[in-house]
Amino acid sequence: MLAAFFQRAAQQILRECAATQTELADAVILVPNFQAGAALSQALVAASGQTVLLAPQILTFPAWAQTASPVAAVLPDSRRTTQLYHILKARAWFDPVLLWAMCDEITRLFDELTYQAVDLPVDVNEFATQLQAYYQTRRHSAVEFEAQLVHELWFALSRDELSPAALYALQLAQLAHAAVAPLFVVGLPTLTRLEQNCLRQYAWQQQVTEIAMEPNDAVAQTLAAAWPVNLVTPLIQRAQTLASNLPHSPLPGRLRYCAAYSLEDEASAADTQVRLWVHEGKQRIAVVVQDRVSARRLRALLERAQILVSDETGWTLDTTTASTVVMRWVEVLLADFPYQDMLDLIKSPHLFPDWPISRRQQAAWQIEHALRRHGPVDGCAGVLAVLRTQTDTEDAQAAVSRLQTAAQHSARRTASLRDWLDQLERSMAELGAAATLAEDAAGRQLLNLLARRRHELAEDDGSFSLAEFHRWLSRELESGAFVDQRVDSPVVFTHLAATRLRAFDAALILGADAAHLPSLTSHAVFFNQQVRAALGLPTPAVEMAQIQADLVQLLVTTPAVLVVWQARSEGEINAISPWLERLDSLHQLTWGSSLLDHGLREMSAAAQIATPDQQSVPVPGNMPQPNIPSALVPHKISVSAYNTLVACPYQYFARHVLGLNQLDEISAEVEKSDYGQAVHAILKTFHERHRVISDVPREALMAALIEISLQAFAPMLRDDYYARAWQQQWLAKIPAYLDWQLAREQEGWRWLEGEVAKQHGLPLDDDQSIQLYGRLDRIDRVADSFAVLDYKTGSSKGLKDKASRADEDVQLAAYALLMQDEVGQVAFVSLDAEKVTTIALDVEPQAAADECGERLVLLFNQLHQHAPLPANGIDKVCQYCDMRGLCRRDHWVDTLPV
């Protein structure tokens, strides 16, 4: 079809050049794109019958305009937008956050006015009256404001240098005035009024010939019946007329629909079809992308099948990793280095390229570890202060210092956009990101964009805050496009408008649901559709007509087309494009069959490439019971790990042998564990200052304990306002605690020391040993007897259960074993209840300690003999276990529902 059209166009061009005695090389031919120009050039050579031909100028309309002589300096869009920003900022008409978006909207409107050759009245009142007539409304403040805004800004910007659109208008006028050769217009889409005027003026001096593609074959007739210019005639009647003219459908084998039921299903079906076409030897395959999400997944599947894609649609720069690191840096500066963003930056491969990966990872780990211990802080200075209080943080300090140095390049409060870009360049160089971005394809395009903007904005001396610069940069990256031009492939991702007059062996329309086809541009802020039509501006109806014409041309000229869409999305029915649905309904009414093809999805299941994630699902297992090689059995164990070993051997194996302990999160909120640590520190400090309180006035004790408590909670209150609730909870318990301490001293006990680290080694068989270690919250003494106390802020009922079951919870018995002295008492001190209570171990401490030691020796002798470590914890132990997903308790055969 296209070959015949280009042949006919070439013959007509040659005939008219001969009739006007014009050399073909002098003619000008306008085409929709350069691919169509190449095809037409080949057709001209074939039609001329010559082996060598001096080709005419075959150009697009914009490229033809560029051949005009320079008429004036042009004001780049970036500079024009900033000028508009300054005007809007001074007027204070809009929210400052919305100013850049409004600038874009207004510049688009002004370009449309220029392209459509709309002349605004010089008088603003006349323009307001004109708008009121178009709106068909009486005098209204909103209409007057809209008229004032558009009119004032239009003439304010018109006084300066030419905009690109205005330059385009002057170039076309110059070409029309200097017409010296015939002009041929081949298959162009809907033209702007500016372009139409150019052709009209050109025709006053030279011949202008329009050659349009007007197919009238069976496919075109079918599409015309489905999508008529007007819908006056009912569909059933159009179907009857079509059936009488065409007894057999021209679409089977040429056009098919495939309904998918998920994103993966859609991409898989499309991937299968493209691979089938490649296998058949098709050299020109178009994937018309209506849904970018589906396109990304399809591209991944094709590349897994080693089919590269030439992507003409590209991505917006803000979706690339190169853009992410630049934007994250500016956001970090704007927010004064939140620790989360600081960690993301340090982990980024674009920063610190002169460091080995291991050093960058080590720096990030050191920061995380330090903040887990200290609590979150923001700002380079704050993080550095925390790091300097801890050992082995040299890499982290170097990384944060490097960030701090780079930030000094952007220390100014306000600057011009050019200055902000210069500062950004210097900070990126300091961080090493400039070098890594230059090595990345998207990064190079990003750097080129910023370099162009720096040049274009060199003379703009307006003042912008960092927040304004951040919004400007975000908008630039959202509108900038990354197109990877390194790939030359028979499979081309493109958009519908780019298929005009291009020959494809096959085409796949991806994401053809009602939300994406037709895909209209965003709704304009200024003027409703009635006013736009009256002004001569494009309306959605005109845009839809052009999209439909492009779709018709693609279906008519391409011998094999597949339409794919997700028939269900997020559990809801997702309708196909109404145009395609109407075509299928017409096909069923006319020839009794649907265009839906259910075979492709079945074929795609068999055509999928086998990957590890597609292996058969493992059968449910039973309780895991690993054992440990003797050489890997730990030589020491903490009291809490000993408790874990007794509660669930597999949990001990995962946590303390495999080292899979879950890291604590860096939390800005004070949690109960933080509260407990604070109370421990308060009581240690208090008793170090007041080893005996019986002879001290109660008021003094209260004041001392309150003062110590307030000092301990002060850092928490700076980071978390809600820590005040924990503080008040403890302060309310102080009287009860003093009552308990006085009663204890009346029993003869005296505080000896607190927060004492203890360890005790026990011999094992075969000259092995195991060392038990732990930290005792408090040791009291009376005569030659000692008491080991453990402060608890949990439920007193739970503590009583633990104290009464020394065989299930070994904590208190293990503390008695660590003491290694005459222990008269080992107990929990419950600080949670209104009354502070002592909850002692039910059995005699020394006997419990001896039994605890014997049990520990027995267990570790068994581990050295490869005893299994089953996941046999009770429900209470498993309920909050972080290793539950590792032992897969919920998926054991004996736990699955019958």
What is the rounded distance in angstroms from the CA atom of residue 472 to the CA atom of residue 466? 10
pLDDT band at 898, cuts 50/70/90?
A: very low
pLDDT tens digit sequence for 224-258: 999 998 888 999 999 999 999 999 999 999 999 99
What is the rounded distance in angstroms from the CA atom of residue 561 to the CA atom of residue 579? 15
The residue-averaged pLDDT of 383-401 equals 91
pLDDT tens digit sequence for 262-318: 999 999 999 999 999 999 999 999 999 999 999 999 999 999 889 999 998 888 888
Name the token pair of 288. 């018309």
The residue-averaged pLDDT of 593-610 equals 78
Q: What is the pTM of this model?
A: 0.76
The residue-averaged pLDDT of 718-737 equals 84
Owner of token pair 């279906």: 555
Pair 534, 134: CB distance under 8 Å = yes
pLDDT tens digit sequence for 400-443: 999 999 998 877 789 999 999 999 999 999 999 999 999 998 99
More confident residue, 525 or 785: 785
More confident residue, 147 or 794: 147
DSSP β-ladder status, 823-830 and 837-840: antiparallel
Pair 628, 636: CB distance under 8 Å = no
Name the token pair of 397. 């300090």
The residue-averaged pLDDT of 193-207 equals 95
Which are the contacts of 463, defined by CB distance < 8 A and separation ≥ 6? 414, 415, 416
Instruction: Report the amino acid identity of residue 855.
Output: R
H runs (alpha helix) in 99-214 = 99-115, 124-135, 141-158, 164-177, 193-203
pLDDT band at 892, cuts 50/70/90?
A: confident
The residue-averaged pLDDT of 723-737 equals 89
Length of the chain measured in residues: 898
The residue-averaged pLDDT of 117-144 equals 80
Which are the contacts of 61, defined by CB distance < 8 A and separation ≥ 6? 30, 188, 191, 195
Which are the contacts of 671, defined by CB distance < 8 A and separation ≥ 6? none
Q: Is 274 exposed, middle or buried (0-12, 13-18, 19+ CB in 10 A)?
A: buried
Helix 124-135 and helix 141-158, axial crossing angle in degrees, nearest 10: 130
Candidate from 61-65, 617-621, 628-632 with smallest mean pLDDT: 617-621
Pair 291, 510: CB distance under 8 Å = yes
Name the token pair of 46. 């074939």
What is the rounded distance in angstroms from the CA atom of residue 671 to the CA atom of residue 722? 10
pLDDT tops 80 at residue 158: no
pLDDT tops 60 at residue 666: no
pLDDT band at 155, cuts 50/70/90?
A: confident
pLDDT of residue 619: 66
Strand partners, 760: 772
Instruction: Report the amino acid identity of residue 689.
Output: R
The residue-averaged pLDDT of 670-677 equals 74
> Which sign, positive or negative, has the C-alpha torsion 456, 459, 462, 464?
positive
Name the token pair of 147. 């008229």
Task: DSSP letter for 183, please.
Answer: E
Pair 768, 636: CB distance under 8 Å = no
pLDDT tops 80 at residue 664: no
The residue-averaged pLDDT of 821-828 equals 91
pLDDT of residue 606: 67
DSSP assignment string, 89-110: HHHT-S-GGGHHHHHHHHHHHH
Instruction: Report the amino acid identity of residue 445.
Output: Q
pLDDT of residue 533: 83
Strands (E) in 308-422, as ranges, are: 310-311, 315-316, 414-415
Candidate from 305-314, 496-505, 606-615 with smallest mean pLDDT: 606-615
Strands (E) in 236-341, as ranges, are: 255-260, 285-289, 310-311, 315-316
Pair 791, 676: CB distance under 8 Å = yes
The residue-averaged pLDDT of 126-141 equals 77
- φ, ψ for residue 481 (rounded to 5)? -115, 140
pLDDT tops 90 at residue 60: yes
pLDDT of residue 50: 83
What's the whole-number average pLDDT of the chain?
89
pLDDT tens digit sequence for 210-222: 999 988 899 999 9
- φ, ψ for residue 790 (rounded to 5)? -125, 115
The residue-averaged pLDDT of 164-183 equals 92
Name the token pair of 723. 């820590």
> Which sign, positive or negative, has the C-alpha torsion 445, 448, 454, 455?
negative
Owner of token pair 């094992």: 764
H runs (alpha helix) in 375-486 = 380-388, 394-407, 417-431, 433-438, 441-456, 466-479
pLDDT band at 620, cuts 50/70/90?
A: low
Q: Which residue in 42, 39, 58, 61 sits closest to 50, CA to CA?
A: 42
pLDDT tens digit sequence for 762-785: 999 989 999 999 999 999 999 989
CA distances from 860 to 627, 635, 643, 644, 813 (A): 12, 9, 14, 14, 17
What is the rounded distance in angstroms from the CA atom of residue 468 to the CA atom of residue 450? 16
Strand partners, 49: none
Which are the contacts of 214, defined by CB distance < 8 A and separation ≥ 6? none
Strand 28-30's sheet: what is its strand order? Answer: 57-59, 28-30, 183-186, 208-211
Name the token pair of 80. 């024009």
CA distance between the termini of the chain: 64
- Report CA 264 to chain centroid distance, whole Å: 19
